[in-house]
Amino acid sequence: MNQPARAATDRCPGVFDTHPAADGALARVRLPGGRIRPDQLEVLARAAADHADGHLELTVRGNLQMRGITDVEAVAAAVVAAGLAPSSTHDKVRNIELSPLTGRIGGIADARPLAAALDDALRADPAAASLSGRFLFGIDDGRGDIAARRPDACAVLRTATPLAADISIGGIAVGSATGPESIVSALISVAAGLGEVSPGAWRVRDLDADARRRLTDLVASALDPVIDDDTMIDDDTVIDDDTMIDDADAAPSTPGEPIVGWFDQDDGAVLLGAVVELGRLPARLAEFIAAVQAPVVFTPDREILLCDLSEGVAETVVRVLAPMGLIFDAASPWASVSCCVGAPGCASAHAPVRDDLVARVQDGDPVAEREHWVGCARGCGSPAESHLSVEATPDGGYERRRR
Ligand code: SF4
């Protein structure tokens, strides 16, 4: 039996459809794969400085958002002019997570063209406009970082020649596809099938067992058998929605390990990974990052990657931008803690979460595991991986629990 359609409205914000938060309008800019050109970042930085609260917030899907917007139309016009919102009808459905290091460090193959092809196909599909802004696509280049997050529809590369991938639904591999077109088509078929088996469902997790089985059958009927079954993820893992944000010699190999510090790319260039306090990138700092004139990637763990640098440029970047607030130290607490906006920015918050998290970090108590602080049970922006949730309670305290 189908799950009843969701009664509530999907209030995920976009560029054209902002969210009325307590601190003003909030707009979210989708960056498929977390990728952005420097000129585009410069436009967003200026918009944040001129028409919002002067920051770009990093979200748990590698997107950016602006808060406290005073001129929604001006922000939308700037985002459109930068080519970051190419379709008003499909603005909120371009939720594509991509292995952040793909094409530069490790991975079975460069998955960036696949993400671009999926974005193109999504925008060309009129039916995709009705997809929930919460539905998440994933493209994993074989290292397992995106598959571990259990996107609604995910392609996990298995071979480079020919390009072949396992296709998973909510973390469960259901078949395999060969060739970019077939892989993209399989991912789109999961989204289309969701609406077919359960009209109104936002995500795969909204389905009951019967609807999920029918969706699996529908998608798998057009696929080859699974190439490898290690994309199966423990069903006990809890994943939350994105509702709202030391140097190392080798690339992180374990999902969840921070991509923070100095990394050597496979082609000999340098990749710098950094974080910022509270996941809030000041507009002025964003302008300086854009001035480096290098490709930038925002990761689902709220990291900022500056890519394809020469050693000399990378050294200059660290020397100039670290004093401005870009943190290149993987041992920094800010590489392991995150939070929602809390009070007063959100009317639902029981506490000024940002202030409390800053105080927690300044206290100097070691951060032994990833922590995410939230102002209420909704748990906005919670990391996909296992973490310690620190949730404000109505009595003024905080409750800690592992999620
Ligand atoms: S978790 Fe609660 S307090 Fe925090 S942003 Fe979401 S709704 Fe607001």
Q: Say which amino acid occupies 286.
A: A
Atom of ligand 1 nearest to the CA of 339: 4
Mean pLDDT of the 117-122 span: 96
Q: What is the pLDDT of residues 356-397, one digit of tens each?
A: 999 999 999 999 999 999 999 999 999 988 999 999 999 999
pLDDT of residue 247: 30
pLDDT of residue 244: 36
pLDDT of residue 389: 97
pLDDT of residue 251: 43
- Distance of CA 87 to CAs 15, 16, 124, 193, 241, Å? 10, 10, 10, 23, 23
Confidence class of residue 229 from pLDDT cuts 50, 70 and 90?
Answer: low
Give the number of other Cβ atoms within 10 Å of residue 355's Cβ.
Answer: 13
Confidence class of residue 4 from pLDDT cuts 50, 70 and 90?
Answer: very low
Confidence class of residue 69 from pLDDT cuts 50, 70 and 90?
Answer: very high
User: Between 87 and 372, whose confidence is greater?
Assistant: 372
Residue 243 clears pLDDT 50, i.e. is over it: no
Residue 340 clears pLDDT 90, i.e. is over it: yes
State which of 23, 60, 376 you would mutate to test the pocket of ligand 1, scoring each by most atoms of that ligand within 8 A of its C-beta: 376
Confidence class of residue 241 from pLDDT cuts 50, 70 and 90?
Answer: very low
Mean pLDDT of the 330-341 span: 96
Distance from Cα 370 to the centre of ligand 1, integer Å? 19
User: Between 184 and 234, whose confidence is greater?
Assistant: 184
What residues line ligand 1, using a CB cutoff of 6 Å? 244, 340-342, 346, 348-349, 374-376, 378-380
Q: Are 146 and 98 in contact (CB under 8 A)?
A: yes
Mean pLDDT of the 261-289 span: 98
Confidence class of residue 230 from pLDDT cuts 50, 70 and 90?
Answer: low
State which of 11, 348, 393 you would mutate to test the pocket of ligand 1, scoring each by most atoms of that ligand within 8 A of its C-beta: 348
Give the number of other Cβ atoms within 10 Å of residue 349's Cβ.
Answer: 21
Non-local CB neighbours of 358 within 8 Å, separated by 6+ positions: 277, 278
| Whole-structure pTM value | 0.91
Distance from Cα 380 to the centre of ligand 1, integer Å? 5
Q: Are 142 and 192 in contact (CB under 8 A)?
A: no
Give the distance from CA 288 to its chain's centroid: 23
As a 3-state breakdown, the chain gives helix, strand, coil percent values, each rounded to 5, of 30, 20, 50
Among protein residues, the one whose CA lies closest to atom 2 of ligand 1: 376
Atom of ligand 1 nearest to the CA of 343: 3
pLDDT of residue 287: 98
Domains and CATH numbers, the chain: 88-239 (3.30.413.10), 261-332 (3.90.480.10), 336-402 (3.30.413.10)
